[in-house]
Amino acid sequence: MDAGAAQEAMPTLKEILGAMIFAVDRPLSVREMRKCLIETAQRVGGETLAFEDVRETDIAEALEELSADVQKARVGFAVSEASGGMRLESRPACGPWLRQLLDRGRPSRLSQPALETLAIVAYRQPVARSEIEAVRGVNVDHVMRSLLELQLVRIVGRSDLPGRPFLYGTTRVFLDHFGLRSLDDLKEMGPGLFGTRNVLAGKPGKSAGPEAETQGPETQERRPEEGNADGTGEEGDGPG
């Protein structure tokens, strides 16, 4: 192979970044991308030295081009920013087919802890995880992870509290799941859907007080009949 062919075969920065995002199963930050490019140049050398001095602004520009190219190609997914990084996400319009493919067409049965947590997010959004735990009185890591995987909640921003924790809100999937036209429908919704609206009596960041105590043991610990620790119901009722 001559030098011209070798140069032509060398991937562009945009292509490399696209491969990185495709390869990982989590959002990839610009800082991580730059670190990988620099470390690869130092360890491998050769043509990879072309990106040894890459700047974060260079990466940001390449990501914009990549996102535009993917959107223009209409390939069913997009390069999106989430959780402080970039990742590939399927287009919302393709949702019905993906739910059918992944056997998520049926409404998932949610456990009582998951419903309680989802109710707090729905009525208080945007809300930080610490506020959710203050109301429920228990750690909600597993439940929140499940709700995020089910796309019932999403990260909508960051709080001004120390450490700038993530703020959570509901999604379009949440509205579809419960047959709501918009969040305004929550104002007229009866307590039957969640069954735990009285836990919302406290103010953000504080305990719900006596109301939380009236909820019984199920709000203090997960009992076997409430479902799995990840927030879904009986085995086989989850997304699969």
Q: What is the model's pLDDT at position 204?
A: 39
Same fold flag, 12-96 and 112-226: yes
Q: What is the model's pLDDT at position 193?
A: 42
Q: Which positions ≥6 away from 159 have C-beta within 8 Å?
A: 126, 128, 165, 166, 167
Q: Locate the domains of the chain by residue range.
A: 12-96, 112-226
Tell me the angle at which helices 56-73 and 13-23 cross, rounded to the nearest 10 degrees: 80
Q: Which positions ≥6 away from 83 have C-beta within 8 Å?
A: 26, 27, 155, 166
Q: What is the model's pLDDT at position 111?
A: 87
User: Tens digit of pLDDT per residue, the chain (240 long)?
Assistant: 455 554 567 899 999 999 999 999 888 999 999 999 999 999 999 999 999 999 999 999 999 999 999 999 999 999 988 767 898 988 888 888 887 887 654 555 788 999 999 999 999 999 999 999 999 999 999 999 999 988 899 999 998 888 889 999 999 888 877 777 788 878 776 444 444 444 343 333 333 333 333 233 333 333 333 333 334 443 333 333
Beta bridge partners of 158: 166
Q: What is the model's pLDDT at position 138?
A: 93
Class of domain 12-96: mainly alpha
Q: What is the model's pLDDT at position 46?
A: 93
What residue type is assigned to position 7 of the chain?
A: Q
Q: What is the model's pLDDT at position 191?
A: 44
Q: What is the model's pLDDT at position 178?
A: 79
Class of domain 112-226: mainly alpha
The Cβ of residue 168 has, within 10 Å, a number of other Cβ atoms equal to 24
Burial of 158 (0-12, 13-18, 19+ CB in 10 A): middle
Q: What is the model's pLDDT at position 207?
A: 34
